[in-house]
A and B are shown apart, each in its own frame.
Chain A
Amino acid sequence: MSLIPEGLRYTTEHEYLRESDESDIYYVGITDYAQGELGDVVYVELPEPGDSFAPMDVFGTIEAVKAVSDLYCPVAGEVVDVNAALDDDPELVNSDPYGEGWMIQLRLEDPGEVETLMDAASYGAHIGE
């Protein structure tokens, strides 16, 4: 069973949105299920702070030993920070996907958009768990 924390929001493409201390800034990463599917992550390509994305825009890529996957921006927003730790330790995505394995911090254009994403129960149903 994959870890699906309550209180986060999820996309069909297996990204999550987690609140930060600032109301309009959220952490974005991939779910425990997604990292398990990919296997050992060896590389994460992330955007630059200041880049803006629309919902479902590709904001980066993640590569495991054999598989590559695009990363999709859950909602519209501007990147305010990226997780530089993944440069040296991309396996943080495997070991702590919802914590130290976060990828970008996104300032949301419209925080209300969060409600359009799946909650933990819906995401669990989406992945069949």
Chain B
Amino acid sequence: MSTFPDASRGGAAAAGDGPGRLNWRVLLDGGLPGATNMARDHALALGVRPGEGTVRFYRWATATLSFGRNEPVTAGYRDLLRRHPEMEAVRRPTGGRAVIHDRELTYCVVLPARAFGGLRLAYRRINQGLLRGLRRLGVDAGGAAGSTAAPDAGPCFLEPAEGEVVVRGRKLVGSAQARIGGAILQHGSLLLVADQSALFAKADAHGAAGNGAEPGRDRGIASAPAPTGNRRGSGTTVAANRTGPPITLAEILGEVPPWEDMVDAFRRGFAEEFGGLWAPGEMTREEMAMVARLERKYGSGEWTWRR
């Protein structure tokens, strides 16, 4: 069941009305290290300007385990990284739970905090843009009803939060958001190809099992305990709420579309939803200076292993 209005009722004309009409810059990045990816997203938020938004599409240089900003690093995660020494680890500026980024399309949307009317409306509009993009790729996706269960109720991609993109009830895109100064930053992962059953088995055992899955096949989403010692009580068990394993674009379409086609579909989906003027762009010199500084933060053990 979708918690969002049907996309057909929110056309480009309506989307362009009101304070949400921005000039949008589209950035395309290839595979970059985790610290660089997080530094770039963060710098875009710090550099946000009134009337302007940025959409960035990117990949990862190597499989990377990302933690939510306040998420404790469990023994299970450490064990996972020990078993996969080729895997990097990074801590995101955004909330939510751990994700293994590998064969995925990653998006980032940055906009002035009030441009879409606040965090919640921005979350809806961005997810609506993702749905529009997916329809362009021939994927009939919807927004999850979700729940307010504690975030440690199970693996991230098994447990869609309200509004997250699902297909046949299974999570396809996982997203997280942060308000940084005067900006909203939302980024997320669209699963392209994955065989995550082994990883989910580990996750169910709090990441402790590790059954020797090959790193190259371990393209999943890790278990994701919530910040502990300070959280809502878990009112719902994993089993009670589980909606099935995550789904991938390859499973839905039988293949992964060319990267350029996917990026074009999502760019158009966002443009249709957000309205405004759209153009390809680059990071500014000021933003790149911030990236250099932030890379040190996101590449540091002090930040990555802070909890």
Please pick, from B93, B96, B150, the residue contacting A66 in the complex, using a CB distance under 8 A: B96
Q: Is the CB of A86 within 8 A of B230?
A: yes
Chain A residues in the interface with B (C-beta under 8 A): 36-45, 61, 63-70, 86-88, 90-91
CA distance A86 to B8 in the complex (A): 42
Interface segment out of the listed B118-126, B133-141, B273-281: B118-126
Write out the residue numbers on chain B whose beta carbons fall within 8 Å of the beta carbon of A41.
232
Q: Is the CB of A43 within 8 A of B119?
A: no
Q: Is the CB of B232 within 8 A of A90?
A: yes
Chain A min CB distance to B25 (Å): 23
Q: Is the CB of A67 within 8 A of B118?
A: no
Interface segment out of the listed B28-36, B53-61, B101-109, B174-182: B174-182
Q: Is the CB of A68 within 8 A of B227?
A: no
Q: Is the CB of B161 within 8 A of A65?
A: yes
Interface size range on B against A? 20 to 34
Q: Is the CB of B177 within 8 A of A43?
A: no
Please pick, from B68, B119, B175, B181, the residue contacting A38 in the complex, using a CB distance under 8 A: B119
Write out the residue numbers on chain A whose beta carbons fall within 8 Å of the beta carbon of B229.
87
**Nearest-CB residue, chain A, relative to B152:** A42
How many A-B pairs with Cβ below 8 Å? Answer: 78
- Known A42-B226, A44-B230; judge A68-B70 contact (CB<8 A): yes
Q: Is the CB of A65 within 8 A of B230?
A: no
Q: Is the CB of B95 within 8 A of A65?
A: yes
Chain A min CB distance to B3 (Å): 12
Tell whether B69 is near chain A: CB-to-CB under 8 Å: yes
Write out the residue numbers on chain B whose beta carbons fall within 8 Å of the beta carbon of A45.
70, 230
Assuming A61-B69, A66-B123, what are 4 further A-B pairs, CB within 8 angstroms? A45-B230, A65-B95, A66-B176, A68-B95
Q: Is the CB of A70 within 8 A of B179?
A: yes
Tell whether B82 is near chain A: CB-to-CB under 8 Å: no
Q: Is the CB of B230 within 8 A of A43?
A: yes
| CB within 8 Å of A: which B148-171 residues | 148, 150-151, 161-162
- Known A66-B123, A66-B161; judge A90-B175 contact (CB<8 A): no
Tell whether B231 is near chain A: CB-to-CB under 8 Å: yes
Chain B min CB distance to A44 (Å): 6
Write out the residue numbers on chain B whose beta carbons fall within 8 Å of the beta carbon of A37.
118-120
CA distance A87 to B232 in the complex (A): 10
Write out the residue numbers on chain A whose beta carbons fall within 8 Å of the beta carbon of B150.
42
Q: Is the CB of A42 within 8 A of B227?
A: yes
